Structure 1
Amino acid sequence: MSAAEEERAEEEEEEETQPVDLIGNRLKEDVVSRGRRGQGSPAHIPLSLQVQPPDPASIRVLRGHQLPVTCLVISPDDRFIFSASKDGSLIKWDVESGKRLCVVPGGKKGTEEQHMGHASHVLCMAISSDGKYLATGDRNKLIMIWDTVTCKRLHIFTGHRDAVSGLSFRKGTHQLYSASHDRCVKVWNVAENAYVETLFGHQDVVTGLDSLSRECCVTAGGRDGTVRLWKIPEESQLVFYGHQGSIDCIQLINEEHMVSGADDGSVALWGLTKKKPLALARQAHGMQDAQGLQQPYWISAVAALRNSDLLATGSHSASVKLWKCGEGFRKLEPLWDIPLVGFVNSLKFSAAGDFLVAGIGQEHRLGRWWRVKEAKNSICIIPLKGRAAAPSPEVPDSS
């Protein structure tokens, strides 16, 4: 029982640090009710019922990258977006105005030291939960650490033997996890510019990675067909099976559930204690006619609004899909389609749950299998408005 109580305390502490937003009051109510019932499961906020279908005309499009956008993150205070591209560039955007606040251009291979930017495709990025550090990873095996305020580069981590494809900071710390096409996961201490350790287990390129508050991370293993949970202190891993194709994207929903997507067109919901999916949506974005053959649209991005039942998935099917996690995460129910043309290479919900950001490209993040010529390499900000409800007490804005 002590472990369960400690786990519950960690989750409640995490939930109570959320900003005042769509889910803030609901979280507090849920924590109280869980305490009364003595339950240890994470907060599960039925937000999907409170969000209206977005108006396509309200989507804002930000242009700045020359080549496909591959990854993006939103600052913890929801004021800024950082994005990167196959052109090697890194851009900091102001959410409210849509203006570019900082641009670090890409350069030629071998010039990383001179021009302070990436010289190859940037494939992934992560921001620390205090908003201090930004980490970016590229095809040249490099991880770069940036000051989020000035966009100055602070450090370069080397050690991976192939493209860096996934990054995540452990929440509440400056511990960084990285995943690579070299099949390894590495742990770094960014505050001390230090390498910590390497984790082995995947049999193919690792395509994605995520983490939350616990000292563990989850990874998508591409064509080895597995999702893995790495328990860092125990030096152990749990292996999950469920997709038929290459697993290309993954995100934690809360400390006990995650969502992943694969090129067989499936989206899977997982509990971290079950080796098979709790729910699986096959052909989640439908079928496409590729060279005379019917194939599922690949799932290229997944996103979860933390501690809620709201998910988003992306492909190149001309729409982003919003989903509801059913009771006990055992159902995946489609809500709406949001029209967006191109490869959806990255998706992120704002912390407040009031907007969703998509990174769009003419090509897939990891290759050039198809090209959607009519797509714009861009950042799309999709407003998510709550349904009309009883007015809640005004909370003074502390920003």
Structure 2
Amino acid sequence: MWIRGSGMATSGSFLIRKKKAAEGRGRKRKAEGDEDKAHKKLTRKLNEEISSDSETESVGHNKKDVEVLEIEETAQEKKLRLAKLYLEQLRREEEEKVEEEQFESDLIGGRLEEEVLEQKGKLKRLLAKDYLPPDVSEIRLLRGHQLPVTCLVLSPDDKYIFSASKDCSIIKWDVTCGKKVHTIHGGRKGTEDRHVGHTMHILSMAISSDGKYLATGDRNKLILIWDPATCQHLYTFKGHKDAVSGLSFRKGTHQLYSASHDRSVKVWNVDQNAYVETLFGHQDAITGLDSLSRERCVTAGGRDRTVRVWKIVEEAQLVFHGHESSIDCIQLINEEYMISGADDGSLALWTVTKKKPLVTVRKAHGIHGDPGIQQPNWITSVAALLNSDLVASGSQDSKIRLWKCGEGFKTLEPLFDIPMVGFVNCLKFSNSGDFLVAGVGQEHRLGRWWRLKEAKNGICIIPLKKTQTKEQSGDSK
């Protein structure tokens, strides 16, 4: 019994072990099958991602896609990809840097070229085409002088206007608000010994390029030097034998040139409060004078009908003929070109290399008078925007006219007119070219031939409008 029972037990144990082994093999096959299924599923998923790669580029990867790619990408591949991205970023930054440096280099090169041309006196910026007629409602009239304004200047920073009049007064104006900053009152004739200021009509005015000195000249043969900041009197220059009709500081210096009805030009050193020399040559009263950086000046000779360029160092003068009547005003455009106006209504454009005008515009401001006795409106003032092709002229025909110096500075083309009632005795462009200042009066600055009762004695500030260039419109955006 015991032996048989033992055999049955042994047989049962064997069957149990065999069953467990079979179950173990089944579980192993199932696990392998599950792994195969998972592998196939992952492979299928990756194939789907690869096949739809163009779509993911347009709409972006979602979170699951990124996880799958991270599973697929090894650490080495990730380093390589990041390195390529970094190198691409460096390349783009380097290209942008090179472009910026090239742009700055072009700007600096352009500025240096302009500076060289300006020093040579040959800079010609073509700006006239950008200007538009101003809005008449924006023109401001500053009232303060009792008699016609005869001359004016602008401070180098365009913040202040200094004006003078036949009432012998000098007024300093604030351009922004149009208010008086200071007034130097005129005195009566014969009170020169006790009055600090002018006692006869002021005809000319100049300010140094650094704004340190202001000079004014009058019919009493005197030149007075002032501190523009405080309007305090500094010096008085005597020497001319007739009215001082023109004044100009040499740009960048305190050397002062003066012109007079005594037909002479004098040179002064304002720093040393000293007279330097006298230049002779004109055959009639000098009516206008101007200068720039070179040690020379240009003058209008009135009824001797000549324009003269005085070479101070060489002790020589160049004589130019062209106008057929008295030349009343002159202005340098740059060291090579100049503009002049005469009482026969002609406007002339000159170059220092030719003795005749490049172009002369007859009756530039029209004519006046009854039929049969009509006469041209004489040119009472001219102005030029320094180193550009824009010039202006004034008369008594109720308008200021702006002109463009045509191609090669061989023509004068009218741009537009600005309404202005009265004698336009002086004109000045701001250094920035943003506005034009006119000194207006009921009478001509040099005499009382006739009077315009409807005119107002004062200063007119005329804002100048410009067309918006592509660069400006890009900046505004």
Establish whether TM, by shorter chain, passes 0.5: yes
CA–CA separation in structure 2 for the residues paired with 1:141 and 1:351: 30
Letter in 1 for 2:176: E
CA–CA separation in structure 1 for the residues paired with 2:372 and 2:431: 42
- Aligned residues of 1:69 and 1:365 also touching (Cα < 8 A): yes
Aligned to 2:281: 201
**Pair 262,290 (structure 1): closer, same or farther in 2 beyond 3 Å:** farther
Aligned to 2:317: 237
CA–CA separation in structure 1 for the residues paired with 2:153 and 2:471: 31
CA–CA separation in structure 2 for the residues paired with 1:27 and 1:89: 45
Shift of 1:391: 4.0
CA offsets per residue over residues 7-45 of structure 1, 9 Å max, x none? Answer: xxxxxxxxxxxxxxxxxx99973764898x9xx771211
Larger radius of gyration between Structure 1 and Structure 2 = 2
Shift of 1:246: 0.4
Q: Kindly report which structure 2 residues correspond to 1:103-142, keeping only aligned pairs within 5 A, or say none.
A: 103-142=183-222
- Aligned residues of 1:88 and 1:118 also touching (Cα < 8 A): yes
Aligned to 2:423: 343
TM-score after normalising by structure 2: 0.75
CA offsets per residue over residues 193-230 of structure 1, 9 Å max, x none? Answer: 10000000000000000000000000000000000000
Shift of 1:265: 0.3
Of structures 1 and 2, the one with the larger relative CO (CA 8 A, separation 6+) is 1
Q: Kindly report which structure 2 residues correspond to 1:84-233, keeping only aligned pairs within 5 A, or say none.
A: 84-233=164-313
- Aligned residues of 1:26 and 1:45 also touching (Cα < 8 A): no
1:300 aligns with 2:380: yes
**Pair 85,342 (structure 1): closer, same or farther in 2 beyond 3 Å:** same
Q: Secondary structure at the match of 1:357?
A: strand
Aligned to 1:29: 110
**Pair 290,226 (structure 1): closer, same or farther in 2 beyond 3 Å:** farther
CA–CA separation in structure 2 for the residues paired with 1:133 and 1:394: 38
CA–CA separation in structure 1 for the residues paired with 2:147 and 2:107: 41
Letter in 2 for 1:215: E
- Aligned residues of 1:141 and 1:163 also touching (Cα < 8 A): yes
How many corresponding residue pairs? 369
Structure 1: gaps (5+ residues): 1-24
CA–CA separation in structure 2 for the residues paired with 1:47 and 1:41: 17
Aligned to 2:129: 49
1:63 aligns with 2:143: yes
Shift of 1:386: 1.5
Structure 2: gaps (5+ residues): 1-105
CA–CA separation in structure 2 for the residues paired with 1:371 and 1:178: 29
- Aligned residues of 1:301 and 1:313 also touching (Cα < 8 A): yes
**Pair 292,113 (structure 1): closer, same or farther in 2 beyond 3 Å:** farther
CA–CA separation in structure 2 for the residues paired with 1:176 and 1:34: 24
CA–CA separation in structure 1 for the residues paired with 2:232 and 2:115: 44
- Aligned residues of 2:121 and 2:334 also touching (Cα < 8 A): no
Aligned to 1:330: 410
Structure having the larger proportion of residues in strand = 1
- Aligned residues of 2:121 and 2:335 also touching (Cα < 8 A): no
- Aligned residues of 1:91 and 1:102 also touching (Cα < 8 A): yes
Alignment counterpart, residue 284 of structure 1, candidates 347, 350, 364: 364
Which is further off, 219-228 or 105-114? 105-114
- Aligned residues of 2:285 and 2:301 also touching (Cα < 8 A): yes
CA–CA separation in structure 1 for the residues paired with 2:169 and 2:284: 28
**Pair 33,251 (structure 1): closer, same or farther in 2 beyond 3 Å:** closer
Letter in 2 for 1:115: H
CA–CA separation in structure 1 for the residues paired with 2:342 and 2:248: 20
CA–CA separation in structure 2 for the residues paired with 1:184 and 1:270: 22
Aligned to 1:387: 467
CA–CA separation in structure 1 for the residues paired with 2:231 and 2:370: 41
- Aligned residues of 1:263 and 1:298 also touching (Cα < 8 A): yes
- Aligned residues of 1:361 and 1:378 also touching (Cα < 8 A): yes
CA–CA separation in structure 2 for the residues paired with 1:74 and 1:379: 12
CA offsets per residue over residues 285-314 of structure 1, 9 Å max, x none? Answer: 000106961100010000000000000000
CA–CA separation in structure 1 for the residues paired with 2:115 and 2:270: 36
1:315 aligns with 2:395: yes
Aligned to 2:352: 272
Instruction: Give the CA RMSD over aligned residues.
Output: 2.1
Letter in 2 for 1:139: R
CA–CA separation in structure 2 for the residues paired with 1:379 and 1:134: 18
TM-score after normalising by structure 1: 0.89
CA–CA separation in structure 1 for the residues paired with 2:370 and 2:438: 24
CA–CA separation in structure 1 for the residues paired with 2:107 and 2:210: 23
